[in-house]
Amino acid sequence: MRDFHTGRDADPSITLGVTLGSAIFNQLTIVGACALVAPGGALRVQWRAMLRDVLVWGATIVITAGCLANGKVSALEGWLMVAFYALYVVICAYWSRIISRFAPPPRVVRKEVEASKPGEIIYVLVCA
């Protein structure tokens, strides 16, 4: 890789650091800003979607480190990165279908419980 400001070869560790640092900044800033403007001041985040993104982010670190190990990114490695992003977009587009197939939501069962007062019925929701 070339540093466009100096015209010299860029240090792969600096390139990786800049890439990861900007990803961390973007993730924290976007989530934080969304929480600030969310109704009620709280952002509801589905843990499964967050887990998906964390796993993909981890995979991108491995892919990026592998591609930058020799100090340059080949055209094939560039296509690999673009293809991985395209796969991520497809996974996000079909996420609700994917998650409902492999990890259906917990089943909620309504159960009656004896009340302390006569004639009073208490319902308890139990996730099964």
Q: What is the pLDDT of residues 99-124, one digit of tens each?
A: 888 877 666 555 555 556 666 555 55
What region does 31 belong to: left with phi over 0, alpha with psi -120 to 50, or beta?
alpha
Residue 40: Cβ-neighbour burial (10 angstroms; 0-12, 13-18, 19+): exposed
Q: How many other C-beta atoms are found inside a 10 Å radius of the C-beta of residue 68?
A: 19
Asked if 103 contacts 46 with a C-beta cutoff of 8 angstroms, the reply is no
14-62 pLDDT tens trace: 666 777 777 778 778 888 888 888 888 787 878 888 888 889 888 988 8
**Looking at residue 79, what is its pLDDT?**
94
**C-alpha distances in Å from residue 127, one per residue of 44, 46, 85:** 20, 17, 36
Q: Using the predicted structure, report yes or no on whether residue 128 has a pLDDT greater than 50.
A: no
**Looking at residue 94, what is its pLDDT?**
93
Distance CA 51, CA 28 (A): 15
